[in-house]
Amino acid sequence: PAQPVYAGDLPEGLQKISNIIAVSSCKGGVGKSTVAVNLAYTLAGMGARVGIFDADVFGPSLPTMVSPENRLLVVNPESKSILPTEYLGVKLVSFGFAGQGRAIMRGPMVSGVINQLLTTTDWGELDYLVIDMPPGTGDIHLTLCQVAPLTAAVIVTTPQKLAFIDVAKGVRMFSKLKVPCVAVVENMCYFDADEKRYYPFGQGSGAQVVQQFGIPHLFDLPIRPTLSASGDTGIPEVVADPQGDVAKTFQNLGVCV
């Protein structure tokens, strides 16, 4: 595997994590958080010890996508480390659980907050930490790659031609940071109605990605009312319907990360 470019020593709280998986997209609203959360709960369903780090400080989605009993992070008074909250056995850290509203911050402050949240958390022993990356390819991504040795990246996109250009940017960024992109998830690919399948955003850009960049896996996710509802009820789709088609797609994704 490629050597990550993280600088300095690995923070103590991250030392017992076997795999750090970044779920990334170049644009907002394509379903990155939906994929991150469902991937994490799929891995947990397969028996792994899993955590989710929501690295989006401007629009943290984790607090609406899962429903932990305790919605505030606790700081251990002795070690000063952050203790994640938990829902169905998955450890969770998000700025949205930090007890503050949406903050107005400049870039370096955002990087500082993310760095602090990620590295001062006592994650304990984890097989997978899934990071819900902020959208884009900027400073925050660099910060994350410097503090945490990312094992692999999953890129989420939609089928439009324009999205292809964004995917290319994302793949190039991770390749510069020496993080392998193991899969692309093409979200909102199609929907079924009246016994017909419709492709509202066109077809073919996923296949082009796989061909052009040699990414080993491509997964399609349909537009599903249940997927959007599960984002609001706080129960991930793969938990609500573990035998469904969406859960099967995530199991296949889980195997490749």
Does the protein bind ligand ADP through residue 227 (CB under 6 A)?
A: yes
Could you tell me which stretch among 42-50, 119-127, 177-185, 216-224 binds ligand ADP (CB under 6 A)?
A: 216-224
* Residue 111 binds ligand ADP (CB under 6 A): no
Residues with Cβ within 8 Å of residue 152, at least 6 apart in sequence = 19, 21, 22, 179, 180, 181, 182, 257
Nearest approach, Cβ of 58 to ligand ADP (angstroms)?
A: 11
3-state secondary structure of 109: helix
| Total length of the chain | 257
Q: Is 170 in the site for ligand ADP (CB under 6 A)?
A: no
Q: Applying CB under 6 A, does 31 fall inside the site for ligand ADP?
A: yes
Does 34 participate in binding ligand ADP (rule CB under 6 A)? yes
Does position 158 bind ligand ADP by CB under 6 A? no
137 binds ligand ADP (CB under 6 A): no
Q: How far is the CB of 191 from ligand ADP (least distance, A)?
A: 8
Residue 134 near residue 55 (C-beta atoms within 8 A) = yes
Contact between 157 and ligand ADP by CB under 6 A: the answer reads no
Smallest gap, in angstroms, from Cβ of residue 230 to ligand ADP?
7
What is the gyration radius of the CA atoms in the chain, in angstroms?
17
- CA-to-CA dists, residue 73 to 43, 94, 144, 176, angstroms: 23, 9, 20, 34
Indicate the residue among 32 and 141 with the shorter CB distance to ligand ADP.
32
DSSP letter at 123? -
CA distance 23 to 130: 7
The answer to whether 33 contacts ligand ADP (rule: CB under 6 A) is yes
Strands 191-193 and 196-198: antiparallel
Q: Which residues contact 131 (CB under 8 A, 6 or more apart)?
A: 20, 21, 22, 23, 36, 52, 53, 55, 118, 144, 148, 150
Residue 96 interacts with ligand ADP (CB under 6 A): yes or no = no
At closest approach, how far in Å is the CB of 179 from ligand ADP? 19
Instruction: State yes or no: residue 188 binds ligand ADP (CB under 6 A).
Output: yes
Out of 20, 21, 25, 121, name the contact with ligand ADP by CB under 6 A. Answer: 25
Cα 26 from Cα 118, distance rounded (Å): 21
Instruction: For the segment 231-250, give every residue that binds ligand ADP (CB under 6 A).
Output: 231
Please choose, out of 2-10, 23-31, 38-46, 100-108, the segment that lies near ligand ADP by the rule CB under 6 A. 23-31
User: x-or-dash pattern for ligand ADP, window 58-77, by CB under 6 A?
Assistant: ---x----------------
Closest to 66 (Cα-Cα) out of 78, 50, 80: 50
Tokens of 92: 């969770």
- Binding residues for ligand ADP (CB under 6 A): 25, 28-34, 61, 187-188, 221, 223-224, 227-228, 231
